[in-house]
Amino acid sequence: MSAMILENFATQKWVKGQDGLVDIKSAVTGETIAQTSSNGINFKAMADYARDVGGPALRKMTLHERAFMVKDLALALTERKEEMYALNAHTGATRRDGWVDIEGGAMTLFSTSSQARRHFPDGHVILDGAPEQISKHGSWMGQHVYTSMKGFALHINAYNFPVWGMLEKLGGALIAGVPVIVKPATATSYLCEKAVRIMIETGVLPDGALQLIVGRTGDLFEHLTCQDVVSFTGSASTATMLRTHPVVIQNSVRFVAEQDSLNACVLGPDAKQDSPEFELFIKEVATEMTVKAGQKCTAIRRAFVPKHMMDAAQAALSARLAKTTVGNPDSDGVRMGALVSLSQREDVRSKVTELSEHAKIVFGDINALDPVDASNESGAFMSPILLRCDTPWNAPKVHALEAFGPVSTLMPYDDLEDAVRLCNEGLGSLVMSLFTHSPDVARDIVLGSASFHGRIAMINRDNAKESTGHGSPLPVLVHGGPGRAGGGEELGGVRGIKHYMQRTALQGTPDLIAGATQTWMKGAAQVTDGAHPFRFNFDDIFMGKTLLTKGRTILLDDIEHFAEFTGDSFYAHMDQAAAEANPFFPGRVAHGYLLLSFAAGLFVDPAPGPVLANYGLDNLRFLTPVSPGDTIKVKLTAKTKKKRNPEYGEVRWDVEVTNQDEELVATYELLTMNAIEH
């Protein structure tokens, strides 16, 4: 096939670099399959276009509109996935590897979109935590909020997951309202370029929301401001160079890094050679070595077993690795494809040579291999390499040097404390895994090691079938890690969106804060006249709309009837002497659930109307006991609302139940589903 010339997508135009084309070779055949350059691109114009055109257009949309837009991107990528699979094998990846990248990438967008719609309001401001009442009389309060940053996100990605690596960051930034400039790693940029074309062709992205650089980033770093975010995935050396760029330092540009990681895997001391955890451990280490030819930031680089199990683990791992067929990823039966390039293979070979100073190769050969349907000279193939190091405390390189290929080192530990210290010797990783059936071992590992690892996967016979494994970052869980792993965090449900937003502490009167956040705050204006709040459909109900009910006196008969009816005859309601002996109660008191039921009886408007369902209570607290003879009443105020679909939306009501002395008896938030009128 003739080499395709990749194009940058800058200021809404597809443009080739003017000169200096770089050849990109197939990992499998060594042929040049693409050429790329970004020479001649006006990077300042790209930055300005993102900030001045893309950002404002995105921020006009609500959080939910942006989340639906991201869902549309995921749908298009799913529909046109075969166009990406057609390029996948050139990266050295098997179809199974490609699934993680291509369909896993789209699934990450779907998930991020759904999380945002579930957890965020359909507006522009996200509340962070509860309001803080600071002053005695309530006129001076605080509320933390997130709003969109006003710059752009520069996403610099590694070569190993050209689609997923882009999408895991892209979804969060776009939903946050921040336009993105993507810069993929050159080696696999043709696959990323294809994915960007598919997304641009959907037409759902506003102009300037997404731009692409296929080549160097020129002087782009010179134009970064305090409103921009650089999110980097790659090697520690490149991360260090970029995060110490003078403009990044001077403007405190937010810099998120995901980099090399010496991820560990531990077989718990409770495991025996015939326990299921031993087999699961062996399977996981072998899988992590061979999926994507070990070019995974989360791959297991250090595998620890109790000292007396070293020989058994080595034998079992070697037997398993021997079954790995390496070769052309398109050929039948091939389990492991190629590394991304011949130069990457050289890099891995030299790293293994260095590691061999402290460990010996017990499986595989860094040079010899006869790949299926391919040549070892022109394709970047390599056998899985298992190293064994019996003296992990005298082997600093094993804990510090990442061979980014199908390479792992097996090591012994003495006891659990030793295992914890050895895991932490990697000085920060993305993920560690533990194979144990003992909750006590889990506790010791978590207390000893969690602060060194971004994720800990604990796998055993009970969850193995459903487990997603050691190496898979999930959209709903954070991906990132301290120290050597870069100190960054991505994904994690809605957490990954907030990386592109600024948290600000607002202070003011409840009315000002309610106005700014479009959320009613205690102490803000309440409108009590007009129709009953349950007569309003979703679009018409407004924040602060309030109902004050009449009172209802609680009788001893009510309490007895409720106890008999529900079966709840707890002594505090039924036994005067026992209730009096309880420090919380003055004597027999009403059931909390009776109060809730009576409260509902006071505030509902019974006739059919726009309220379709009551679907729950949040933050319920019973604050003052209610004795027979007390009179309760209710204040119900519309607090915030969130559209759920074209037919209905959720209204959140603030509810206060008070007694005859205006003391708070109960507070909670009531959730109703209200119809949208068409």
Beta bridge partners of 145: 127, 504
Q: Rule CB under 6 A: which of 157-176 touch ligand NAP?
A: 157-160
Among 103, 260, 489, 630, binds ligand NAP (CB under 6 A): 260
Residue nearest to ligand NAP (CB): 234
Q: Least Å distance between CB 43 and ligand NAP?
A: 11
- Per CB under 6 A, the segment of 71-79, 233-241, 306-314, 544-552 that binds ligand NAP is 233-241
Among 26, 35, 108, 233, binds ligand NAP (CB under 6 A): 233
Chain-centroid distance of CA 339 in Å reads: 27
Packed helices 439-449 and 416-424: angle between N→C axes, nearest 10 degrees: 40
Tokens 């996100």 correspond to what residue?
153
Q: d(Cα 617, Cα 444) in Å, to the nearest integer?
A: 37
Residues 6+ apart with CB under 8 A from 564: none
Nearest Cα neighbor of 101 from 283, 333, 256, 292 is 292
Q: Least Å distance between CB 29 and ligand NAP?
A: 20
Pairing between β-strand 32-36 and β-strand 4-5 as defined by DSSP bridges:
parallel
- 186 interacts with ligand NAP by CB under 6 A: yes
Q: d(Cα 374, Cα 370) in Å, to the nearest integer?
A: 8
Q: d(Cα 508, Cα 378) in Å, to the nearest integer?
A: 67
Cβ(315)–Cβ(363) under 8 Å?
A: no
Chain-centroid distance of CA 297 in Å reads: 16
- Here's the x/- map for ligand NAP, 543-562, by CB under 6 A: it reads as --------------------
Q: d(Cα 110, Cα 118) in Å, to the nearest integer?
A: 12
Pairing between β-strand 13-15 and β-strand 8-10 as defined by DSSP bridges:
antiparallel
- Here's the x/- map for ligand NAP, 469-508, by CB under 6 A: it reads as ----------------xx----------------------
Residues 6+ apart with CB under 8 A from 462: 437
- 345 interacts with ligand NAP by CB under 6 A: no
- 383 interacts with ligand NAP by CB under 6 A: no
- Per CB under 6 A, the segment of 65-73, 88-96, 252-260, 318-326 that binds ligand NAP is 252-260
- 235 interacts with ligand NAP by CB under 6 A: yes
Nearest Cα neighbor of 614 from 633, 596, 594 is 596
Q: Least Å distance between CB 320 and ligand NAP?
A: 24
- 180 interacts with ligand NAP by CB under 6 A: no
- Closer to ligand NAP by Cβ: residue 231 or 328: 231
**Catalytic residue selected from 192, 297, 389, 423:** 297
Nearest Cα neighbor of 331 from 6, 29, 638 is 29
- Closer to ligand NAP by Cβ: residue 295 or 659: 295
Q: What is the CA radius of gyration of the chain?
A: 30
Pairing between β-strand 360-363 and β-strand 385-388 as defined by DSSP bridges:
antiparallel
- 231 interacts with ligand NAP by CB under 6 A: no
Tokens of 662: 């205006």
297 is catalytic: yes
Number of residues that bind ligand NAP (CB under 6 A): 26
Q: What is the DSSP letter of 394?
A: G
Among 120, 164, 404, 653, binds ligand NAP (CB under 6 A): 404
- 156 interacts with ligand NAP by CB under 6 A: yes
Q: Least Å distance between CB 670 and ligand NAP?
A: 42
Among 59, 81, 183, 301, binds ligand NAP (CB under 6 A): 183
- 259 interacts with ligand NAP by CB under 6 A: yes
Q: Least Å distance between CB 284 and ligand NAP?
A: 19
Nearest Cα neighbor of 178 from 202, 215, 209 is 209
Q: d(Cα 336, Cα 207) in Å, to the nearest integer?
A: 40
Q: Least Å distance between CB 268 and ligand NAP?
A: 26
Q: d(Cα 292, Cα 162) in Å, to the nearest integer?
A: 12
Q: Least Å distance between CB 10 and ligand NAP?
A: 16
Q: d(Cα 198, Cα 49) in Å, to the nearest integer?
A: 21
647 is catalytic: no
Q: Rule CB under 6 A: which of 503-542 touch ligand NAP?
A: none
- 39 interacts with ligand NAP by CB under 6 A: no
**Catalytic residue selected from 258, 277, 402, 489:** 258
Residue type, position 165, single letter: G
Chain-centroid distance of CA 505 in Å reads: 24
- Closer to ligand NAP by Cβ: residue 179 or 486: 486
Q: Least Å distance between CB 193 and ligand NAP?
A: 13
- Per CB under 6 A, the segment of 180-188, 352-360, 525-533, 620-628 that binds ligand NAP is 180-188
3-class state of residue 25 by DSSP? strand
Catalytic positions, written as ranges: 258, 297
Footprint of ligand NAP on this chain (CB under 6 A)?
156-160, 183-187, 217, 233-235, 238, 242, 258-261, 297, 402, 404, 430, 485-486
